[in-house]
Amino acid sequence: MRSDGRKVDELRSPLKLRVGVLTEATGSAYLEWGGNRIIVGVFGPKDAPPHFTRPDKATLRVDYKMSTFSSKEEHGRSAPSRRSIEISKVLREALSKIVMLEKYPQSQIDIHILVLQAEGGTRVASFYAAVAALIAAGIPMRTRAFGISAGKVNDEIVLDLSKEEDNLGQADIPVCMDMDGNVLLFQLDGKVKPEELKKAFELIEGKKEFFDKMLREEFEKFYSQEISHEFRVKE
C-alpha cells in the first residue's frame, strides 16, 4: 500500500484531458493530472525560415516552460532553466519519432507547453498533452502515444509518484511509449535493478489502453463539436 492509499499501478486523479481550448493555435490541449495543470498550443505546419529549412521534412520545435507560480515553493524564474531546456529537447526527440514530419518538407511545427501548476511528472504529462494537441491540429501521426513516470519507493516499483513519494523515492523513471510499447522517451534518476526496470516498463505498458481510450473519447467529442472552446482551469 502506498502513502496515499493507491495501488502500485494506480494513477493520480483527477486525470482529465480537453482538446481545442485555444482559438489562435492550430491545435491545443489542456491536461489536469494530479496536481499538474498543463496547457499546450501547436502552430503549423508553416513555412520554415531559411536557417531552419530541411529539404526532406518539417522541423519540429518544442518549448516547455513552467509558470513562475507553478510550484508551492518559491517564485520561479521566467527565463528558461537548464532543466526546461533539457526537457524541451527530450520531448522534441520523442515527438519527432511519431509525427509524420516527412509529409511537410521545408516546414516548421511549433509546440508550446506551459506548466501552469506542477506536482511531479510534468514531462510525461506534457508529452501526452502535446500528442493530443498535435492530433487536434490535424497533423498526421504514425501512432498515438502516452507517458508515465515510474518510481521506486520502499524497494517497490510503482507508477506516477506523488510529491511525497518522490521526496522519499529511490528512483524516478519517466517513460513515453507508443501504442506498440516502443520507448520514445526514457530517463532514469536513482538506482534500480534490471528486473525492476523490466517491471516498470510492464506496468507502464499496461496503461496504454487507458490513455488511448481517453484520447479517443475526447476526440469523439471534439470532432462532433460537442465541446465549447472556452478555456477553464477547473473543469
Partner 1 sequence: MILQKEEILKHLRKEGLRFDERAPYEYRPIKIEKNVIETAEGSALASIGDTVALAGIKVEIGDLFEEGKANFITSVELSPMASKGFEPGPPDERSIEIARVIDRGFRSAEVLALDKLAFDDKTGYTIFLDIYILNHGGNMLDAGYLAGMAALSTLKIPKVEDETIIRDEFLNIDVLQNYVTSSTFATIEEFHLLDPNESEEDVSDVMLLLAVDDEHIVGAQKMKEGSYTQEQILELVDITFKKRKDILKVLKGDE
DSSP class of residue 26?
S
Is 71 near partner 1 (CB under 8 A)?
yes
Q: Which of 49, 79, 225, 226 binds partner 1 (CB under 8 A)?
A: 79
72 binds partner 1 per the rule CB under 8 A: yes
What cell was used for 18? 480537453
Interface with partner 1 in residues 17-36 (CB under 8 A): 22-25, 28, 35
Residue 36 CB, shortest distance to partner 1, in Å, is: 10
Find the helix packing angle between 208-223 and 122-136, rounded to 10°: 40
- What are the cell numbers at 145? 502515444
Q: How far is the CB of 41 from partner 1 (least distance, A)?
A: 3
Q: Do 101 and 60 touch, CB atoms closer than 8 A?
A: yes
Is residue 170 helix, strand or coil?
coil
C-alpha 25/C-alpha 63 separation (Å) is 14
Site string for partner 1, 98-127 (x = CB under 8 A): ------------x-x-x-xxxx--------
CB of 206 to partner 1, least distance (A): 30
Distance in angstroms (rounded) separating the CA atoms of residues 137 and 43: 8
Q: Is 38 in the site for partner 1 (CB under 8 A)?
A: no
Least separation in angstroms between residue 204's CB and partner 1 is 27
> For residue 116, what is its C-alpha cell?
501552469
Q: Which of 20, 38, 70, 185 binds partner 1 (CB under 8 A)?
A: 70
* Alpha carbon distances (Å) from 8 to 11, 94, 155, 178: 9, 26, 12, 22
User: What residues line the site for partner 1 (CB under 8 A)?
Assistant: 22-25, 28, 35, 37, 39-41, 43, 63, 65, 67-76, 78-79, 110, 112, 114, 116-119, 230-234
